[in-house]
Amino acid sequence: MNDISRETLKKIREKGIVPRAKGYFFLKRSTVWVLFGISIVLGSIAGSAVIFQIRSAEWELFHYFQKSIPEFILLFVPYLWLLFMIGFSIIAYYYFRQTQGGYRYRAFTIVVLSVLISILGGIGLYAAGVSERMESVFEERLSFYKGVEFHNRMVWMSPDKGLLAGKIVDVSKEGIIILKDLDGKNWSVNASNAIWRGRLSPSPDLEIKLIGTMTGGESFKAREVRPWHGRKTREAKGRHNMNMPQSSPDD
């Protein structure tokens, strides 16, 4: 027996190393692959949420926030889900490196591929309607969750930027409507020359979104009136109401 063999046997005895059955290594490899797969699935779920929120956002309202771009980013960009997607991709990278031969691949390559797989998986889940159902469940059951409905409310409750939303309380013949906004405050809205979208007509209990100009502490001049449950909102929340009785027609 040569010196190397004797030294190896000595270390085995000192460390108490014992042979492992093939089943042990098979179970270990299987566990690593399962954890890797779970990370990819969770990343895909996060990816679908990112796609859903980006698709549901009303990006055409960007110019109303040009003077406060950070606020716009916080309202529209699904940064939380983006962090989840990237985080699960990094976890997937960790478990992939534990697989046989996984060490051969560069970290950057594995992470990028994990993100791409999450995005592709997210597209599939979004197309299947999983992200929409997930959004509804989270908003209904998790009080701390701030989803599409919350962000829509925040965006449209910006009268100083020309955006306002609520329910019509009363309509006068002069084109003046009394609007109760989403916070319960009453506004006198001049809508005499406004364009009404979505086949709308002024009527009490109608839920609407207004684009125009704030003319006073409780007064607003509307240029355009949209149904609260427009296409974007229906994609995000179906016919979910905004904590008031539903009555608005579809687009």
**CB 52, CB 132: distance < 8 Å:** yes
- In this structure, the number of other CB atoms found within 10 A of the CB of residue 119 comes to 19
pLDDT at res. 52? 86
User: HSE-up of 75 (CA within 13 Å, CB side)?
Assistant: 20
> Nearest Cα to 89, choosing from 134, 31, 50?
50
pLDDT digit string (tens) for the chain, length 251 residues: 556 666 666 666 666 665 666 676 677 778 888 888 888 898 898 888 888 888 877 777 777 776 666 766 676 677 778 888 888 888 888 888 887 777 777 878 888 888 888 889 999 988 988 888 888 888 778 777 777 777 778 888 889 889 999 999 998 878 899 999 999 999 999 988 899 988 888 889 899 999 999 998 899 999 999 998 754 444 444 433 444 333 333 43
Single-letter amino acid code for the residue at 6 = R
CA distances to 86, 190, 196 from 215, rounded to whole Å, are 45, 10, 20
Question: Is 99:40 a contact under the CB 8 Å cutoff?
Answer: no
Can you give the pLDDT at residue 187?
Answer: 94
A 10 A CB-CB count for 105 gives 14
What is the C-alpha separation between 118 and 209, in angstroms, rounded?
Answer: 35
The DSSP bridge partners found for residue 141 are none
pLDDT of residue 60: 74
Q: How many residues does the chain have?
A: 251
Specify the pLDDT at position 16.
Answer: 62
pLDDT value at residue 250: 42
Give the per-residue pLDDT at 59.
74
Per-residue pLDDT at 238 = 43
Cα–Cα distances in angstroms (integers) from residue 123 to residues 36, 188, 199, 216, in the given order: 20, 44, 33, 45
Across 200-218, b (16+ Cβ under 10 Å) vs e yields bebeeebbbbbbbbbeeee
- What are the structural domains, with CATH classification, of the chain? 3-141 (no CATH), 157-237 (2.40.50.140)
* Per-residue model confidence (pLDDT) at position 236: 43
As given in the structure block, the two tokens for residue 17 are: 């190393």
Q: Report the pLDDT value the prediction gives residue 213, as an integer from 0 to 100.
A: 93
* pTM for this model (two decimals): 0.61
Mean pLDDT (the chain, rounded): 78
